[in-house]
Structure 1
Amino acid sequence: MIALLKQYKLIAAGTAVLALMALSAAGAWQWQGNAYGKRLADQATAHETFLRQVAEANAAVILKQQADRLALEQRLAKADQQSTEKLTHALTENDRLERLYSSADDERRRLRIEVKVARADAVVSAATGSGGVGNAASVELSAAAGRTVWDIRRGMIDDQAKLAYLQEWARQILGVR
């Protein structure tokens, strides 16, 4: 019986050791789980903070870009308005001059241009020396040619205004002053 008692003691001690080992493993598992859970929670918090900072930085960049875009659109609108006013003024002046020209009498309506012309000899031969430039003369344009001059002038005014507008537009877009 003593042997049986020793055997039971040995089994009880083994069972107690196994129970202690199981409790230790369960405690370690629990402690380790809590430690990892805390680390994961800290990482999640850090990640959320990082994402919030990135979102705030992106929002700041977008707001600045929108403000820059609005300022550019306002500068372009101002340049467009100024260009349109200049063009309107120049075309109005051209129309005024054309009306003044068309309502004048025949003598004043003639468009004369002072030019220097080469002397026109009746016969030019190989023996003739080099030609010379004569005195100033007056060239008179026909009424149709006079109207064409005003049309050409109007086109030049229009083209110059467009060119100035496009140059100002490019300056504004590129930020060149």
Structure 2
Amino acid sequence: MTALWPKILPYIAALLIGAVGAWMWQANSYGKIIADSNASYQADLTSIANAGAAQARQALEKQQIAEQALADLDQKKPEGKDRWPRRE
């Protein structure tokens, strides 16, 4: 058994070195994948935020137009009357 160790030890060392090398290479590869994924995620969040801001601007514009239309109607209301005349 003692004579077997010197013969097997280089193979074990080579396997360990190969395993460590593969582990480091794979970890580096995963790091790149995660970095790409984070960049893509950030781009998605930015586009979603921009779309939300655009929708909010459009809603605000519609609200301002409606408020202006109501203000215009209030100015057209006949003087001295509390309500518009009824249509029959």
Higher strand share: 1
More contact order relative to length (CA 8 Å, sep ≥ 6): 1
**Shorter-chain-normalised TM-score: which range?**
0.7 to 0.9
Shift, 1:12, TM fit: 2.2
1:47 to 41, 44, 50: 41
Query: Which one has the largest radius of gyration?
Result: 1
Q: Cα deviations across residues 16-42 of structure 1 (Å, max 9, x unaligned)? A: 111110010000011111111111111
- State, as a whole percentage, how many aligned pairs show the same letter: 30
Please state if 1:64 is matched with 2:58.
Answer: yes
Matches of 2:51 and 2:18 in 1, distance apart?
49
Matches of 1:11 and 1:55 in 2, distance apart?
64
How does the TM-score come out when normalised to structure 2? 0.85
Size of the aligned set, in residue pairs, is 86
Shift, 1:62, TM fit: 0.2
Matches of 1:162 and 1:39 in 2, distance apart?
71
Q: 1:120 is matched with which residue?
A: none
1:17 to 11, 19, 22: 11
Segments of 5+ residues of structure 2 without an aligned counterpart are none
Cα gap change, 1:61 to 1:163, in 2 (>3 Å): farther
Higher helix share: 2
Q: 2:22 is matched with which residue?
A: 28
